[in-house]
Structure 1
Amino acid sequence: MKYNQSNGVINSPAIPSISIMFFVYNLVQTRPVMTDDMAVEYLEKLQHIQVSCDHEFYVELWMSALTGLAEECDKTSTDRAQHTLLWKSFVLVKLPSLIEKLELKKSNKLNSEENKYYCHECVINQLFGFKGLINACNPLVENDIFRPEDITIDILRVCLNRKLVRKEFVNRFIELEYEIDVGDTGLTAGAILDDPSRQIIDHLVSTATTSFLHQESRVETIFKLMSEWSTKLEVTPLATLCRSLMDVPTLLDIIHLYRHPSEFISPLERLCNTWTSKTDSKESLLRDYENFGTIFLFLISVIDRYEFHKNIKDVLHDEEGFCYKWLIQSGSTYDIDSLDHEKSIITRWVSALSDASQEIPEDLIRNNPRILIELSPTIFKEALKKVATEDIEIAMISLEPLFTHFIKLHMSYALIGVCQSLCDDILFKGKSSISFKVLNRLILEEAFPNSIIKLIGNKLLSIFDIISENGSLPSIEDTESALRNKIAKSMMIPNWINTKHPAEKLYYRFKIMFKTIVYGGRHKPSLIYEISLSENYLNNDIDTEYEYITGNGGTANNLFDEFTTNPSSWLGPHHLDIELFKNCLEINGPRTFVDLIVEEVLSAGKKGMGIRAAELGASLLTLPIYYTWNEYLHPSTLMKIFFMDFLPSILEKKIDMYTQSYSIGIMTLFILMMLKKDTQSVGGVDVSIDEIVGINNSVDDGTNDILMIDAIMPEEKGGGMEGVGGTKVEIEHFIKCVLSIFKQDTDGDNVDSKVVQNGSKLIDDKVKNESELKLINGPAKGFIDALLIHEDIIPELKSLIKK
């Protein structure tokens, strides 16, 4: 939104608006992301709200994306390099793609091709003028995969490739060889299907992270291969692809910048539910089982990485299938006496695995691997029962054949359930040191699957912390260090969900994060160091930041040299940490979340920074930050709570200054314009927040893929005005619950004219005409003035000011 500086907004593209910054960071940090069409529609609405011209809007978009990249490049930790890859993929692939599609939506405007080129060339010229930020995106790191000062070249190449700029313009900056497109080097789905060798599959996966001009086509090829091999039940090449993807975990996040994770999950689920080996050779059979295990663990890894277990019914379509049932009861053990057919299988497995010199009967080996995955926790449970009365060391020797067989490649995938069961045993039976010994023996084995460590690592480390607080288990001290080291080494992968936000500190961290974003430009000194910063400093930091961006600097750490560091302080992964906001919403609930936002907006409104706070607050309420389907954490719920439970009482009781009500008004205006269905966007396309974030909360019959943030649901749920996400949010809710408190009531007993909260409770049944006049002419008048910036949003507004 473009307001004057007295309202707390810096009118320089060097400091992008918070709403644009939040949109960009949310796209990169939240999985799964909205589709390109939904993102473009949101951008159209955003540009209309801000009343920005194309040039200004595009510069802010680029600046926001480059800010995220610069922050990642500024990190000195070696395990952040692949996070940088994700941001660079966004800057060089996702963002130009969105801008290209946004231009296509605006094609009905009477703009010539020359004007389009002129706009984007001006944007690039201005962008390259911010030397400090550009330099920060090109860290001079020895053996780094990025060349020094290559970001400008890459931006020019991708813009030329998408026909956003002309070749003559590009020639001013780069040499001729950079203009040459070497093509896609034959890495097409058809070519790989003809020759699915490990070498070509590895090459496809590795180049998908570095070949930015062809990244989208590489991703499409990966999806085609995944679908084709899953449909044909070809486990050998599919397992090779899954192994390559697990070796480069950040590629999953890059892939999901473009496609929803369920497009991986659906074909793999069908294969894991139905596949049966058709080979007669024992050697080929064991290879098939190894490949099946790799595919199964990859499927579970994707579900775990994006926390889809929280809405498993919407992720997996076959509730009677193996994958669904296993995820519901993973790690469960059975009472062997309650089993029928499986009892004999378990007994035979325990017997066969008790003697290392004995070959496992071939009929047991030929049991479907799904049976082994399901029964393996019970097999271990029964084996442990047999040695329960023995000394621990003797017991471990007796169990050695069990370990030897299960660690083999054609069986090791089944250890995922075993490890989960052993973790539970360690947690709930604290004196069962045999369980720890067994788990320790398995994990420290060199051949133990690294993918299983990644799945259980966080749980196991948490159990260790609980044990250390309550006293260590017997004989654990000797080996715990080695076990922790191996887990830590395996867990050193990029993951947006690796930030610990202790529940007891969420309030504090939320407030600090909010204030830092609103007052402090881009940087986060108060997040890095738990120190007290004055708001005067944070205001001055915007000026410092402007000089840093536009000057020739590139080392942001110099801004914080004056502070005394605290090595034990929490280090947030980003300036704008979506994960912190998500955790606060999930743990504290929607009502507390909205309350925290409103409190910070009111506080900022007193200090002249209310507009930036309003933009951030509105973004938190209108863009989904919680990426699994939960109606109580959805934007529809947050907006209804804000309209019905907070706005009326705020305007009547909590407004002390005009600037406070003006800030709340700007936040409300942002939300209303996102809800407005018939608002013409800049590109001339009618869109609404319903279409962007799937505002209805009905759940379909399960035939569609996982409910995404962009899913458009077919019907409303029933229910009253509870403000819990049960019904669709409409502008009429605002008119009924909020606007009525400004209307004069000619009949003091007319209950219908009074604002109603939660559908039944009157805020104040003694409201009279006099108090209503004071409300609209008092500090709360700023609320109406803010809404009148776009006076067409609520036609009734004009009648309120004609007194």
Structure 2
Amino acid sequence: MKYNQSNGVINSPAIPSISIMFFAYNLVQTRPVMTDDMAVEYLEKLQHIQVSCDHEFYVELWMSALTGLAEECDKTSTGRVQHTLLWKSFVLVKLPSLIEKLELKKSNKFKNGNLLYSEENKYDCHECVINQLFGFKGLINACNQLVEDDIFQAADITVDILRVCLNRKLVRKEFVNRFLELEYEIDGGDTVGLTAGNILDDPSRQIIDHLVSTATTSFLHQESRVETIFKLMSEWSTKLEVAPLATLCRSLMDVPTLLDIIHLYRHPSEFISSLERLCNTWVSKADSKESLLHDYENFGTIFLFLISVIDRYEFHKNIKDVLHDDEGFCYKWLIQSGSTYDIDSLDQEKSIITRLVSTLSDASQEIPEDLIRISPRSLIELSPTIFKEALKKVVTEDIEIAMINLEPLFTHFVKPHMSYALIGVCQSLCDDILFKGKSSISFKVLNRLILEEAFPNSIIKLIGNKLLSIFDIISENGSLPSIEDTENIIRNKIAKIMMVPNWRNTKHPAEKLYYRFKMMFKSIIYGGRHKPSLIYEILLSENYFNNDINTEYEYITGNGGAANNLFDEFIINPSSWLGPHHLDIELFRNCLEINGPRTFVDLIVEEVLSAGKKGMGIRAAELGASLLTLPIYYTWNEYLHPKTLIKIFFMDFLPSILEKKIDMYTQSYSIGIMTLSILMMIKKDTQNIGGVDVSIDEIVGINNNVDGTNDILMMDAIISEERVGSMEGVGGTKVEIEDFTKFVLSIFKQDRDNADSDNIDSKVIQNGSKKIDDKVKNESEPKLINGPAKGFIDALLIHEDIVPELKSLVNK
């Protein structure tokens, strides 16, 4: 029996399972993404948990992906166009690829088990899925509402789906031709010459730009285009050919979402490793000054691209995992970027900074040949100190005169062969502004640099969030001058370059994250499409917006006015709380990182218990299990990994919930479904996927494998050594079904033992024979098994093979 049917919950294909929905959204919104083998293994487990037939499962999978695409297409902001590209790539490339690999795995199982596998049955299944999918006209039409510009043209998503399914051999040609006016043949491959070999022979800017632009829109060839980009990156990095490599990096930075699309298929670290080697070792071999400056400009482009990839995916938190040479320039710069030096402490090579300051501060002087040939790595490292020393010279002058005297320095540094070095300068200036405020000359210098037309946009993308935060801090300090007109210009420039969506512009105090989590959770389990006003009413009914909270937190809204309480902004602008999607992985990820694993698990359990009272416990259980088993945050910190979250749930929450916090059968059943899903996910079941052995244990334990790094622990996440002695070192946390048996099943065994003991002691002699008094008999039954945990037991017994001891314990 399906667990959703056994609890009186009917799933409609129009509202996919939350578990499937969460899987799809997590693949799109989380970087780096899990490998295809892991994703296929997770999908197979998910189908087994839900006892779904292939047809039903695939319909829900497609519906989940199309829902995400429809939500993006519904956005009116042009800044969301790039995000629509990512979702369309998932729908038309990534998802069909996963389905194809899942079918391959199923066919291998049939063959290995000497069972008959029918290709006809596969075709029939997927053609039936497509027929039903196209019946949801509202959803299909929503996916066709694309923004018409240079990237998009209005198209029918059904045609694209048919084409990709035919190319993946999921449907038959005759089936596709029934939908199309003209006959469509299976695509024979890339015929426009955009192969790695052709581009290596002719690495022109035009052909590289064409490769990058078509990689986002040519969905039938997207995987091959991505593979070509990787080959070019590796080849040019190995041969230290900076000119074509810089052209490729520049094109990729112009289409930032392409990086996310690329990393639907490959891990970002595959980009980083080859670029790291080049940035650490490259030396120009140019003979002429012109060629040398052009080489330095190209090197700067490559370096900024490398830093932008690290920043985009927050690899600075796992720096030892993505950069392999901890003695190299890239690693050392990242851990001390923006640092300045005391000139007296510099060695002979760095002491030339004095000459650089003197030369660059005088527009009439030509830069000597030996200073021009300074390594770009040295320039990046020394630039913050150059600016520090230059500012020292003018610190006693009037600020306007000082800015005039500094103009030659600005002129030199915004030139293409030096501008990349401003990344460290801007970071140093930001730090100085935090200490000295807007009245400092550092603030004027930073404004001057950013407003310069030649200032690199790539640097603004890297430091934009920091700049906006600094402006917010110094503007809210009443002792400092009011906001200047230039600040608004800078804010607008930063927002335009970074393509900051409107929903991110609102500032949220840390306390608000806790309640945004609750709102998002409820929005999802109550269908995900309810009006925000209804979610607000639900929260009011549960007394989340109590007087204590309302009066305790007052904050400044994005419009500059003071809100009456913490939730006023939700009433005015609900989307600022609920994010761009009704299922926002980033919100959950932030909650895990900021609040820690214990609070994160506690919030999930609380919401599942609450939903259990209202008949929505199954959807809540699916969401809870997904949050605990799928990696939503990639970090070396093992205390934020799924294994740790599951272990906390088993050890610290389940026993107390079952014994003290359950009032209704439906609550108990909901917690049981959540536990069942987790147990089935962590069950050791190593299978062969297309020739690759993968265990689900690799998914719930997924991390960045930073060996020997365990320096930073969230204090809220430290688990008592007395209770968990094995949680030592990275990757030391292990979670198995035996943990459930040890920490949870033991309380049922104790309950049964107590009942048996009471039963023996309560026998009375009547008329010379032993009988058990009915009243005493009821009192001596297992209080937990036949009481609040009854629903929990029933849920687990849906799959009796998961915990065999449980059935024998109940029937004892």
TM-score (norm 2): 0.87
Asked if 1 retains the 8 angstrom alpha-carbon contact of 2:507 and 2:558, the reply is no
CA deviations on 1:722-747 (whole Å, 9 max, x unpaired) are 99974211111110100010114798
Asked if 2 retains the 8 angstrom alpha-carbon contact of 1:272 and 1:296, the reply is yes
In structure 1, how many angstroms separate the alpha carbons of the residues matched to 2:533 and 2:763?
44
In structure 2, how many angstroms separate the alpha carbons of the residues matched to 1:544 and 1:5?
44
Q: 1:239: Cα distance to partner?
A: 0.1
In structure 2, how many angstroms separate the alpha carbons of the residues matched to 1:141 and 1:403?
40
Asked if 2 retains the 8 angstrom alpha-carbon contact of 1:44 and 1:682, the reply is no
Q: 3-state SS of the aligned residue for 1:608?
A: coil
CA deviations on 1:19-61 (whole Å, 9 max, x unpaired) are 0000000000000000111100111111111111111111110
Q: 1:712: Cα distance to partner?
A: 23
Asked if 1 retains the 8 angstrom alpha-carbon contact of 2:634 and 2:704, the reply is no
Partner of 1:683: 690
Would the alpha carbon gap of residues 717 and 628 (structure 1) be closer, same or farther in structure 2, given more than 3 Å must change?
farther
Q: 3-state SS of the aligned residue for 1:532?
A: helix
Asked if 2 retains the 8 angstrom alpha-carbon contact of 1:2 and 1:9, the reply is no
TM-score (norm 1): 0.88
Would the alpha carbon gap of residues 371 and 759 (structure 1) be closer, same or farther in structure 2, given more than 3 Å must change?
farther
Range 129-138 or range 484-493, more displaced: 484-493
Range 758-767 or range 203-212, more displaced: 758-767
Range 642-651 or range 168-177, more displaced: 168-177
Asked if 2 retains the 8 angstrom alpha-carbon contact of 1:622 and 1:671, the reply is yes
Q: 1:523: Cα distance to partner?
A: 5.1
In structure 2, how many angstroms separate the alpha carbons of the residues matched to 1:788 and 1:453?
56
Find the partner of 1:142 among 129, 137, 148.
148
Q: How does 1:129-528 map to 2 (within 5 A)?
A: 129-139=135-145, 141-143=147-149, 145-148=151-154, 150-176=156-182, 178-179=184-185, 181=187, 183-185=189-191, 186-430=193-437, 432-471=439-478, 473-474=480-481, 477-492=484-499, 502-522=509-529, 525=532
- 1:113 and 2:122 aligned: no
In structure 1, how many angstroms separate the alpha carbons of the residues matched to 2:770 and 2:301?
57
Asked if 1 retains the 8 angstrom alpha-carbon contact of 2:507 and 2:557, the reply is no
Range 477-486 or range 69-78, more displaced: 477-486
Question: Relative CO higher for 1 or 2, CA cutoff 8 Å, sep ≥ 6?
Answer: 1
Would the alpha carbon gap of residues 392 and 147 (structure 1) be closer, same or farther in structure 2, given more than 3 Å must change?
closer
Asked if 1 retains the 8 angstrom alpha-carbon contact of 2:438 and 2:474, the reply is no
Q: 1:704: Cα distance to partner?
A: 17
CA deviations on 1:131-174 (whole Å, 9 max, x unpaired) are 11111111165547545451000000000111111110001001
Asked if 1 retains the 8 angstrom alpha-carbon contact of 2:215 and 2:226, the reply is yes
In structure 2, how many angstroms separate the alpha carbons of the residues matched to 1:151 and 1:644?
47
Would the alpha carbon gap of residues 385 and 34 (structure 1) be closer, same or farther in structure 2, given more than 3 Å must change?
same
In structure 1, how many angstroms separate the alpha carbons of the residues matched to 2:494 and 2:86?
24
Would the alpha carbon gap of residues 233 and 92 (structure 1) be closer, same or farther in structure 2, given more than 3 Å must change?
same
Q: 1:536: Cα distance to partner?
A: 16
Find the partner of 1:751 among 760, 783, 786.
760
In structure 2, how many angstroms separate the alpha carbons of the residues matched to 1:77 and 1:164?
35
Range 112-121 or range 92-101, more displaced: 112-121
Asked if 2 retains the 8 angstrom alpha-carbon contact of 1:518 and 1:609, the reply is yes
Asked if 2 retains the 8 angstrom alpha-carbon contact of 1:516 and 1:526, the reply is no
Q: 1:493: Cα distance to partner?
A: 5.9
Would the alpha carbon gap of residues 392 and 553 (structure 1) be closer, same or farther in structure 2, given more than 3 Å must change?
closer
Q: Structure 2 regions of 5+ residues with no counterpart?
A: 111-117
In structure 1, how many angstroms separate the alpha carbons of the residues matched to 2:610 and 2:391?
61
Asked if 1 retains the 8 angstrom alpha-carbon contact of 2:519 and 2:535, the reply is no
Q: 3-state SS of the aligned residue for 1:686?
A: strand
Would the alpha carbon gap of residues 189 and 685 (structure 1) be closer, same or farther in structure 2, given more than 3 Å must change?
closer
In structure 2, how many angstroms separate the alpha carbons of the residues matched to 1:513 and 1:391?
53
CA deviations on 1:728-777 (whole Å, 9 max, x unpaired) are 11111110100010114798999999999999999999999978811111
CA deviations on 1:356-390 (whole Å, 9 max, x unpaired) are 01100110110110000000000000000011111
Would the alpha carbon gap of residues 471 and 547 (structure 1) be closer, same or farther in structure 2, given more than 3 Å must change?
closer
Q: 3-state SS of the aligned residue for 1:744?
A: helix
Q: 3-state SS of the aligned residue for 1:761?
A: strand
In structure 2, how many angstroms separate the alpha carbons of the residues matched to 1:40 and 1:507?
33
Asked if 2 retains the 8 angstrom alpha-carbon contact of 1:8 and 1:610, the reply is no
In structure 2, how many angstroms separate the alpha carbons of the residues matched to 1:302 and 1:434?
32
Would the alpha carbon gap of residues 713 and 560 (structure 1) be closer, same or farther in structure 2, given more than 3 Å must change?
closer
Would the alpha carbon gap of residues 560 and 221 (structure 1) be closer, same or farther in structure 2, given more than 3 Å must change?
farther
Q: 1:718: Cα distance to partner?
A: 9.7
Would the alpha carbon gap of residues 585 and 545 (structure 1) be closer, same or farther in structure 2, given more than 3 Å must change?
closer
Asked if 2 retains the 8 angstrom alpha-carbon contact of 1:431 and 1:474, the reply is yes
Q: 1:525: Cα distance to partner?
A: 2.8
Asked if 1 retains the 8 angstrom alpha-carbon contact of 2:55 and 2:126, the reply is yes
Q: 1:315: Cα distance to partner?
A: 1.2
Asked if 1 retains the 8 angstrom alpha-carbon contact of 2:639 and 2:718, the reply is no
Q: 1:482: Cα distance to partner?
A: 1.7
In structure 2, how many angstroms separate the alpha carbons of the residues matched to 1:416 and 1:548?
32
Q: 1:513: Cα distance to partner?
A: 0.6
In structure 2, how many angstroms separate the alpha carbons of the residues matched to 1:102 and 1:762?
59
Partner of 2:31: 31
In structure 1, how many angstroms separate the alpha carbons of the residues matched to 2:449 and 2:620?
52
Asked if 2 retains the 8 angstrom alpha-carbon contact of 1:694 and 1:713, the reply is no
Would the alpha carbon gap of residues 250 and 479 (structure 1) be closer, same or farther in structure 2, given more than 3 Å must change?
same
Q: 1:542: Cα distance to partner?
A: 31
Q: 3-state SS of the aligned residue for 1:418?
A: helix
Would the alpha carbon gap of residues 707 and 205 (structure 1) be closer, same or farther in structure 2, given more than 3 Å must change?
farther
Q: 1:503: Cα distance to partner?
A: 1.5
In structure 2, how many angstroms separate the alpha carbons of the residues matched to 1:757 and 1:387?
107
Asked if 2 retains the 8 angstrom alpha-carbon contact of 1:746 and 1:769, the reply is no
Q: 1:12: Cα distance to partner?
A: 1.9
Q: 1:694: Cα distance to partner?
A: 3.1
In structure 1, how many angstroms separate the alpha carbons of the residues matched to 2:124 and 2:790?
43
Range 95-104 or range 491-500, more displaced: 491-500
CA deviations on 1:204-223 (whole Å, 9 max, x unpaired) are 00000000000000000000
Q: 3-state SS of the aligned residue for 2:774?
A: coil
Asked if 2 retains the 8 angstrom alpha-carbon contact of 1:208 and 1:218, the reply is yes
In structure 1, how many angstroms separate the alpha carbons of the residues matched to 2:694 and 2:768?
29
Q: 3-state SS of the aligned residue for 1:220?
A: helix
Q: 3-state SS of the aligned residue for 2:278?
A: helix
Q: How does 1:591-670 map to 2 (within 5 A)?
A: 591-670=598-677
Would the alpha carbon gap of residues 711 and 744 (structure 1) be closer, same or farther in structure 2, given more than 3 Å must change?
closer
Asked if 1 retains the 8 angstrom alpha-carbon contact of 2:438 and 2:480, the reply is yes
In structure 1, how many angstroms separate the alpha carbons of the residues matched to 2:14 and 2:549?
10
Range 47-56 or range 178-187, more displaced: 178-187
Would the alpha carbon gap of residues 795 and 221 (structure 1) be closer, same or farther in structure 2, given more than 3 Å must change?
same
Partner of 1:776: 785
Asked if 1 retains the 8 angstrom alpha-carbon contact of 2:390 and 2:406, the reply is yes
Range 310-319 or range 489-498, more displaced: 489-498
Asked if 2 retains the 8 angstrom alpha-carbon contact of 1:661 and 1:783, the reply is yes
Q: 1:706: Cα distance to partner?
A: 17
CA deviations on 1:665-714 (whole Å, 9 max, x unpaired) are 11000000011114889999996431224358964x59999999999999
Partner of 2:20: 20
Asked if 2 retains the 8 angstrom alpha-carbon contact of 1:697 and 1:713, the reply is no
Range 343-352 or range 214-223, more displaced: 343-352
Q: 1:179: Cα distance to partner?
A: 3.9
Would the alpha carbon gap of residues 746 and 649 (structure 1) be closer, same or farther in structure 2, given more than 3 Å must change?
closer
Would the alpha carbon gap of residues 640 and 718 (structure 1) be closer, same or farther in structure 2, given more than 3 Å must change?
closer
Range 485-494 or range 325-334, more displaced: 485-494
Asked if 1 retains the 8 angstrom alpha-carbon contact of 2:506 and 2:576, the reply is no
In structure 1, how many angstroms separate the alpha carbons of the residues matched to 2:736 and 2:66?
36
Asked if 1 retains the 8 angstrom alpha-carbon contact of 2:144 and 2:155, the reply is yes
CA deviations on 1:208-261 (whole Å, 9 max, x unpaired) are 000000000000000000000000000000000000000000100000000000
Q: 3-state SS of the aligned residue for 1:777?
A: coil
Range 113-122 or range 563-572, more displaced: 563-572
Q: 1:76: Cα distance to partner?
A: 1.0
Q: 1:651: Cα distance to partner?
A: 0.5
CA deviations on 1:316-336 (whole Å, 9 max, x unpaired) are 000000000000000000111
In structure 1, how many angstroms separate the alpha carbons of the residues matched to 2:724 and 2:444?
54
Q: Structure 1 regions of 5+ residues with no counterpart?
A: none
Would the alpha carbon gap of residues 476 and 797 (structure 1) be closer, same or farther in structure 2, given more than 3 Å must change?
closer
Would the alpha carbon gap of residues 83 and 590 (structure 1) be closer, same or farther in structure 2, given more than 3 Å must change?
same
Asked if 2 retains the 8 angstrom alpha-carbon contact of 1:406 and 1:415, the reply is yes
In structure 2, how many angstroms separate the alpha carbons of the residues matched to 1:560 and 1:778?
39
Q: 3-state SS of the aligned residue for 1:240?
A: helix
Identity %: 91
